Amino acid sequence: MPACRRITLKDIAAKLGVTHTTVSLALKNHHRISKARREQIQRLAKQMGYVPDPFLSGLSAYRRRNALVNFQGTIAWIRHWQVINIRAKMAYHRNLWRGACQAAKRFGYQIEEFVWQQDLSAKRFEQILLARGIQGILIQPHNVVPDWADFDWTKFSVIRFGMSVPVPDTNLVTADAFRSTAMAVRKIYEYGYRRIGMVVMEHDQRIGGNFQGGFLLAQADLKLRPAIPPLVSNSGLYRDNPKEANRRLRQWLEKYRPNAILTTEPHLPRQLRELHYRIPEDVAVAATNVHDVKVDAGIDEPAEAVGRIAVEMLVKQINISERGEPEDPCRILVEGRWQNGKSLPRL
């Protein structure tokens, strides 16, 4: 083959005795082509020095950008059967869904929730998605680590919301809990508070400890004395044994006497009232997410933006046929904004 001529799909197809469509699909890592054949074609393309024509790629992108958006397909939002529907329960996750749906519509997709039922094997669930023409998957946050068994992620483009689901190790989009928490502590300090405490869900330890990490960093930077240790809370304990949960909270409050609390826990304001603490007269309270904690001061987490960016990433992965777990998975962290409120007035 002359060195000066660009290698084409037809050149690769002729070498193997297949159609140029087969070569095109294999280079896009499409599941319709067997794994062995995909690897064979990709290996030969590399050996022959094939690279996509940038002018044709640009022209194709230009046509897609200026064409009317037709229906492209369905994106699966999947939830394991063990997991409660946190989208129905938590405002943050409803906003994730809203942002994702708005972005999907812009690209010609719709989002549909698929619940992996208990009686479905991994292969059966996989077949259901493929039969529906699903190419892209969004994995919602899970309050327990799901068992996906031997589900073949290489057949799909996948994005995770947050770090609660460690497998598959795909690209993910989430709120920047570390930076937002550190920013919130500094805001509370600017408002005149010096005895700043934190009540944080135990779930934080499973998702990287970013809430506690941001709190401890800001605490050290501001040289807060005393440095009040975070109280790690247990939502299950409060649900099943509220007296014991309240006893632990009271003990922490009496020992460290915070005059402001930053919290991840939706039930903390109710606990404080049950212990006869007034907000903000006895203790001011700010939330790491004002949408789910019933106080009006704290972080406005950018859930809709997280949902939108996740779909934008997923559509890109679908278009370039990036399937399964990438060699170098990336995280996109979206920062929240501070929201003033009566629950944490200036001193």
Instruction: Break the chain into its structural domains and give their ranges.
Output: 9-66, 73-176+305-335, 177-300
Query: Do residues 293 and 122 lie in contact, with contact meaning Cβ atoms separated by under 8 Å?
Result: no
Whether a cis peptide bond, with omega within 30° of 0, leads into 242 is no
* Residue 291, token pair as written in the block: 């949408």
Domains 9-66 and 177-300 share a fold: no
* Residue 219, token pair as written in the block: 């605490």
Residue 1's pLDDT is: 42
Distance from the first to the final alpha carbon of the chain:
78
Residue 128's pLDDT is: 96
Cβ atoms < 10 Å from Cβ of 273: 11
Quick: pLDDT tens for 72-119: 899 999 999 877 776 767 888 899 999 999 999 999 999 999 999 989
Q: What is the CATH number of domain 73-176+305-335?
A: 3.40.50.2300
Q: Does 3.40.50.1370 match the CATH number of domain 177-300?
A: no
- In words, the CATH class of domain 9-66 is mainly alpha
Tell me the mean pLDDT in the region 174-202: 97
Tell me the mean pLDDT in the region 65-70: 60
Residue 48's pLDDT is: 87
